[in-house]
């Protein structure tokens, strides 16, 4: 992807557009000052690319790539990685083991390419020993996982980048602007705002549902906080009239049954919204019940 | 997942998110690894009718991949002008011999005696290396070399810091050891001996001057110990507390300073070379608070120092950083300093009084107040560099330690106020 930041004028200010983490990213800034918008845009894009370069599992040189390549050894980690691991640990505990950043190895058996290529139980059984957060050890300075295991920050990386972007934008605004400047950060549908627009107006955002083949967008309004969407995208398998979602139960290694096609959740921070949406999908057909019981603001497409 | 209604998932997640997003200050604005960051500055310091100094600084910082940090700094100072020699002003013209013995200077009636041949060039090199160690420890080691025409200073220092509480608390301990050597032109004066003034240029003068000399050089050793605590109070506020102990031993006298001996009518009879104790122990505490408001930062600090020369000092320093909407900033600065006199300080001696072994009329160790008022204006440059200007006014007001003036000394200024202007331009890239 080309790393360029584009700045265009819009109704109440400027839009910054760039590509990161395999998604189109935009930052909307309600300020007439182009230099401020550009400064925020450059900082936010820089941060998104930094997180992508550091935590992409596809880049062998990334921190994540190196940790996976050195599985079995005790690897040094920095403070940011430690805090992300700590967050992943808390999510694992909170979800009773359903959210597990070591589950990526199951992809070796499951290829969600819309084919009918369903793996055998044998194939899955061979991989299950390498899945399991509890087998991994880490402290503030080191991480050690068993040989053959992999970690993947894909489930939280983009949302984390959105939250960091808002923090960074606020930092730039505090340093350089006299008044508050409303900002919206949208990384491929995971988004957050730093507050309402002028005169307490809400932001209206079109959220594209990746699950829908037709490019249908749902408009949501947001004044505060963040929104994240989790869905089964265009990724599934079909065999004997049965649809296998790409949402895997890490305990069985098999897809969760009948999850909603897409869930959008609102929360104070994007990383929370993302996690809640993922946890809801993992409930399969009980997703709605889960969201209601937990009193979570959501939009759902079944 | 056995999630029941009693499991407050949202609440628990909020706690986890807070920990992730507030402790992690890593961001794209951080200086890229493996690049040198340079700060340069040129400063002018000018006292009215006295010392003028011009200083140039080039400082470089390089951060390596494993968070090691190398700092190097070169400072060049050029000082010229006049400095008070310690003698009192008189109703008549006074003549003094230069510290080198190679010349004399005259001071006009009612003027504070200043030696106007004060000029020196100083070159200073400073370096430090900071290295993260196992489990939240950071070790820093550094050195300093400073050379002037008649002065050499060499020091080494080391500091160990440990982070606690997710880096919200840092405790550090360090030491510094310095060796200083002074080798003034014309040698070191004999304590309390009389400055040779009469018959300048004759062989008698040279013989007498020679009798006031005790050697060509002497040195001193300084050991400093430092304990520090830095505490992050919340996202906007950070507090630092330091305690330092300093032990200096060796030659602490200023070989260029004298004390006037006056008669009962206040007329100067002669000037004798000063002498200070050969050791000094200082204790200091320092507290600093930095707090960030929406687009301003308040930086307030206080320092208290006490030593066994009986000098106690208090320093209050306030800076207020205000960001302007165009990226520029203004930073007003106020500093107040006050100190009590050293026990052996005296503005002059009356003939016939017994003279202690230690005696000095140097106003810098007398009672005094000082104020600084300044303003700094900074702006980012297109390329990410930054440019800043600083202008400060400094006023030093020496005060009487209670010694009553006698005779004609009532008609002269014994405690002359010094005004200075400091101007600085700095550029970081």
Residue B85 pLDDT grade (very low, low, confident, very high; cuts 50, 70, 90): very high
Cβ contact A294–B9 (<8 Å): yes
Average pLDDT over residues A167-180: 87
Which member of B5, B9, B20 has the closest CB to residue A271? Answer: B20
Question: How many A-B residue pairs are in contact by the CB < 8 A criterion?
Answer: 116
pLDDT value, residue B5? 43
Q: Residue B30 corresponds to which tokens in the numbers above?
A: 């951080």
At B399, the pLDDT band (50, 70, 90 cuts) reads very high
Pick the residue of A41, A80, A296 with the most B CBs within 10 A to test the interface with B by mutation.
A80
For an interface test with A, which of B9, B22, B328 has the most A Cβ atoms less than 10 Å from its Cβ?
A: B9
Residue A141: its chain B contacts at CB < 8 A?
134-135
**Torsions phi, psi of A106, nearest 5?**
-65, -20
Task: Give the one of B13, B26, B327 whose C-beta lies nearest to A272's C-beta.
Answer: B13
Q: Which residues of B touch A (CB under 8 A)?
A: 1-5, 7, 9-10, 12-14, 16-17, 19-21, 23-24, 26-29, 134-136, 167, 292, 294-295, 323-327
- Quote the pLDDT of residue B29: 40
Residues facing B94 on adjacent strands: B107
Q: How confident is the model at residue B23 (pLDDT cuts 50, 70, 90)?
A: low
**Closest-approach residue (CA) in chain B for A174:** B295
The A residues from 233 to 292 touching B (CB cutoff 8 Å) are: 267-269, 271-272, 275-276, 279, 282-283, 290
* B-chain residue closest to A142, CA distance: B135
Helix, strand or coil for residue A18?
strand
Q: Where are the alpha helices (DSSP H) in B178-292?
A: 203-211
DSSP letter, residue A61: T
Q: Is pLDDT at A146 greater than 70 in this prediction? A: yes
Q: Is the pLDDT score of A35 beyond 80?
A: yes
Task: Single out the residue of A86, A78, A41, A45 nearest to residue A62, CA to CA.
Answer: A78
pLDDT of amino acid B7: 64
Residues from chain B contacting residue A297 (CB–CB below 8 Å): none
Chain A 113-172, CB below 8 Å of chain B: which residues? Answer: 140-141, 160, 163-164, 167-168, 171
Nearest to A96 among B2, B12, B135 (CB): B2
- Is 80 exceeded by the pLDDT of residue B171? yes
Residues in chain A: 302
Q: Does residue A37 sit in helix, strand or coil? A: helix
Chain B: residue whose CA lies nearest to A292: B5
Q: Burial level of B194, CB count in 10 A (0-12/13-18/19+)?
A: middle
Are the Cβ atoms of A269 and B327 closer than 8 angstroms?
no
- Under an 8 A CB cutoff, do B327 and A174 touch? no
3-state secondary structure of B364: helix
User: E-strand spans in chain A?
Assistant: 6-10, 13-20, 23-29, 74-76, 137-138, 142-144, 183-187, 190-193, 203-208, 217-222, 226-231, 236-239, 242-245, 262-267, 298-301
pLDDT-derived band at B278, boundaries 50, 70, 90: very high
The number of angstroms, rounded, from the C-alpha of B248 to the middle of its chain's C-alpha atoms is: 16
C-beta neighbour count of B41 within 10 angstroms: 17
Angle at B200 between CA B264 and CA B350, to 5 degrees: 15
pLDDT of res. A178: 79
* Nearest chain A Cα distance for residue B215, angstroms: 58
Q: Which residues in chain A (15-44) have CB-CB distances under 8 A to chain B?
A: 33, 35, 39, 43
pLDDT tens-digit series, residues A202-228: 898 877 665 555 556 677 888 889 999
At residue A49, does pLDDT exceed 90?
Answer: yes
How many residues does this entry show for chain B?
429
Task: Report how far residue B176's alpha carbon sits from residue B189's, in angstroms, rounded to the nearest whole number.
Answer: 30
Nearest CA in chain A to B65: A78
Choose between B283 and B82: higher pLDDT: B283
* Average confidence (pLDDT) over B323-341: 89
Q: Determine the Cα angle at B209 with ends B206 and B215, to 5°.
A: 115
User: What average pLDDT does range B143-150 have in this prediction?
Assistant: 93
Question: Nearest CA to CA, how far is B135 from chain A (Å)?
Answer: 7
Q: Which of residues 59-88 of A touch B (CB under 8 A)?
A: 78-80, 83-84, 86-87
**Which of A83, A95, A97 has its CB closest to that of B24?**
A83
- Mean pLDDT throughout B171-189? 94
A75, A286, B241, B286, B395 from B301: Cα distances, Å: 42, 59, 10, 7, 20
Which of B10, B20, B31 best tests the A interface by mutation, with the highest count of A CBs <10 A? Answer: B20
- Does A141 have pLDDT greater than 80? yes
- Number of other CB atoms surrounding residue B420 within 10 Å: 19
Count of Cβ atoms closer than 10 Å to residue A138 Cβ: 20
Percent of chain A with pLDDT over 70: 94
The ipTM estimated for the assembled molecules is 0.80
Give the residue from chain B lying closest to A290, CA to CA: B3
- Its pTM stands at 0.58
pLDDT-derived band at B384, boundaries 50, 70, 90: low
- Residue numbers in B near A85 (CB within 8 A): none
For residue A62, pLDDT over 80 is answered with yes
pLDDT at A7 over 50: yes
Q: Which of B13, B15, B297 to mutate to test the interface with A (most CBs of A within 10 A)?
A: B13
pLDDT score, position B118: 72
**Rounded-to-integer distance, Cα B238 and Cα B231, Å:** 6
Contact A83 B23 (CB under 8 A): yes
pLDDT at residue A233 above 70?
no
Average pLDDT over residues B116-142: 87
Closest chain B C-alpha to A214 CA, distance in angstroms: 33
Of B28, B136, B324, the CB nearest to A46: B28
Find, among A75, A56, A76, the residue nearest to A65 by Cα.
A56
Instruction: Quickly state the pLDDT bin for A177 (edges 50, 70, 90).
Output: confident
Q: What pLDDT score does A263 carry? A: 87
- Contact yes or no for B327 and A86 at CB 8 A: no
- pLDDT tens, residue by residue, B26-71: 443 444 445 688 889 999 989 888 888 899 999 998 878 777 889 9
Alpha-carbon distance A79 to A141, whole Å? Answer: 7
> Is the model's pLDDT at B4 over the cut of 50?
no
| Interface mutation target, options A34, A153, A162, A164, chain B, most CBs of B under 10 Å | A164
CB A264 within 8 A of CB A207: yes
Segment A85-113 shows an average pLDDT of: 88
Q: pLDDT category, A180, cuts 50, 70, 90?
A: confident
Long-range contacts of residues A127-134, Cβ cutoff 8 Å, at least 24 apart: A127/A253, A128/A253, A130/A102, A130/A105, A131/A100, A131/A102, A131/A103, A131/A105, A131/A106, A131/A250, A131/A253, A132/A100, A132/A102, A132/A250, A133/A88, A133/A89, A133/A92, A133/A97, A133/A100, A133/A101, A133/A102, A134/A92, A134/A97
- pLDDT higher than threshold 60 for residue A258: yes
Q: Looking at residue B12, what is its pLDDT?
A: 80
8 Å CB contact of B323 and A272:
no
Number of H helices, E strands in chain A: 7, 15
Mean pLDDT of B93-116: 92
- Per cent of chain A over pLDDT 90 is 37
- What pLDDT, in 10s, does the model give residues B224-238? 999 999 998 887 788
Percent of chain B predicted with pLDDT > 70: 94
Residues of A in contact with B28 (CB under 8 A): 43, 46-47, 49-50, 168
Task: Return the minimum-mean-pLDDT range out of A227-241, A244-258, B1-15, B270-284.
Answer: B1-15
């Amino acid at each position: 992807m080309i790393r360029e930041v584009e700045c265009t004028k819009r109704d109440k200010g400027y839009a910054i557009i760039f590509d990161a983490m395999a998604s189109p990213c935009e930052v909307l800034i309600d300020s007439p000052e182009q230099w401020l918008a550009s400064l925020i845009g450059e900082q936010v894009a820089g941060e998104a690319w930094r997180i992508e370069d550091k935590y992409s599992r596809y880049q062998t040189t990334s921190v994540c790539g190196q940790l996976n390549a050195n599985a079995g050894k005790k690897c040094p980690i920095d403070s940011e990685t430690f805090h992300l691991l700590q967050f992943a640990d808390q999510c694992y505990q909170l979800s009773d083991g359903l959210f597990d950043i070591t589950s990526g190895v199951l992809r070796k058996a499951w290829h969600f390419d819309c084919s009918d290529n369903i793996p055998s139980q044998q194939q899955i059984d061979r991989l299950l020993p390498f899945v399991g957060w509890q087998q991994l050890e880490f402290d503030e300075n080191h991480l050690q996982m068993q040989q053959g295991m992999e970690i993947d920050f894909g489930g939280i990386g983009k949302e984390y980048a959105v939250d960091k972007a808002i923090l960074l934008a606020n930092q730039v605004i505090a340093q350089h602007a006299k008044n508050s400047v409303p900002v919206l950060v949208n990384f491929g549908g995971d988004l957050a705002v730093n507050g309402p627009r002028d005169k307490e107006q809400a932001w209206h955002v079109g959220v594209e549902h990746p699950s829908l083949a037709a490019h249908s967008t749902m408009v949501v309004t947001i004044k505060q906080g963040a929104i994240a969407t989790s869905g089964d995208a265009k990724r599934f398998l079909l065999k004997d009239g049965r649809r296998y979602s790409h949402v895997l139960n890490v305990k069985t290694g098999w897809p969760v049954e009948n999850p909603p096609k897409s869930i959008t959740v609102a929360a104070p921070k994007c990383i929370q919204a993302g996690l809640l949406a993922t946890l809801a999908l993992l409930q399969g057909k009980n997703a709605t019940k889960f969201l209601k019981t937990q009193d979570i603001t959501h939009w759902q497409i079944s | 997942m056995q999630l029941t209604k009693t499991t407050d998932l949202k609440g628990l997640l909020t706690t986890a998110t807070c920990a992730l997003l507030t402790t992690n200050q890593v961001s794209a604005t951080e200086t890229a690894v493996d690049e040198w960051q340079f700060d340069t500055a040129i400063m002018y310091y000018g006292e009215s009718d006295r010392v003028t100094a011009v200083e140039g600084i080039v400082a470089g910082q390089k951060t390596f991949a494993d968070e090691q940090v190398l700092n190097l700094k070169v400072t060049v100072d050029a000082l010229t002008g006049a400095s008070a020699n310690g003698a009192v002003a008189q109703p008549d013209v006074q003549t003094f011999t230069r510290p080198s013995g190679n010349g004399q200077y005259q001071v006009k009636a009612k003027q504070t005696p200043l030696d106007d041949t004060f000029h020196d060039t100083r070159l200073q090199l400073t370096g430090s290396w900071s290295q993260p160690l196992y489990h939240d420890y950071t070790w820093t080691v550094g050195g300093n070399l400073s050379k002037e025409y008649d002065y050499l200073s060499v020091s080494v220092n080391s500091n160990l810091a440990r982070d606690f509480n997710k880096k919200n608390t840092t405790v550090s301990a360090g030491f510094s050891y310095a060796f200083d050597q002074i080798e003034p032109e014309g040698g070191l004066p004999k304590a309390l001996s009389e400055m040779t003034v009469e018959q300048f240029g004759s062989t008698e003068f040279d013989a007498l001057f020679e009798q006031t000399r005790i050697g060509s050089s002497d040195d001193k050793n300084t050991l400093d110990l430092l304990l520090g605590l830095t505490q992050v109070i919340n996202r906007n506020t950070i507090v630092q507390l330091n305690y330092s102990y300093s032990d200096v031993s060796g030659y602490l006298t200023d070989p260029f300073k004298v004390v006037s001996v006056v008669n009962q009518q206040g007329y100067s009879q002669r000037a004798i070379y000063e002498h200070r104790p050969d050791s000094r122990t200082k204790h200091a505490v320092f507290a600093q608070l930095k707090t960030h408001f929406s687009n301003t930062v308040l930086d307030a600090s206080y320092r208290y120092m006490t030593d066994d020369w009986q000098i106690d000092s208090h320093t209050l320093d306030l800076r207020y950083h205000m960001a302007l909407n165009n990226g520029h900033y203004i930073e007003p600065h106020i500093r107040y300093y006050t100190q009590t006199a050293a026990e052996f300080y005296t503005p002059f001696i009356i003939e016939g009084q017994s003279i202690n072994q230690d005696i000095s009329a140097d106003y810098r160790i007398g009672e005094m107040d000082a104020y600084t008022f300044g303003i700094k204006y900074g702006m980012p440059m297109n390329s990410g560099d930054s440019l800043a200007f600083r202008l400060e006014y400094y006023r030093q007001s020496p005060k009487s330690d209670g010694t009553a003036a006698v005779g004609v000394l009532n008609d002269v200024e014994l405690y002359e106020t010094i005004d200075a202007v400091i101007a600085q331009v700095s550029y970081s890239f």
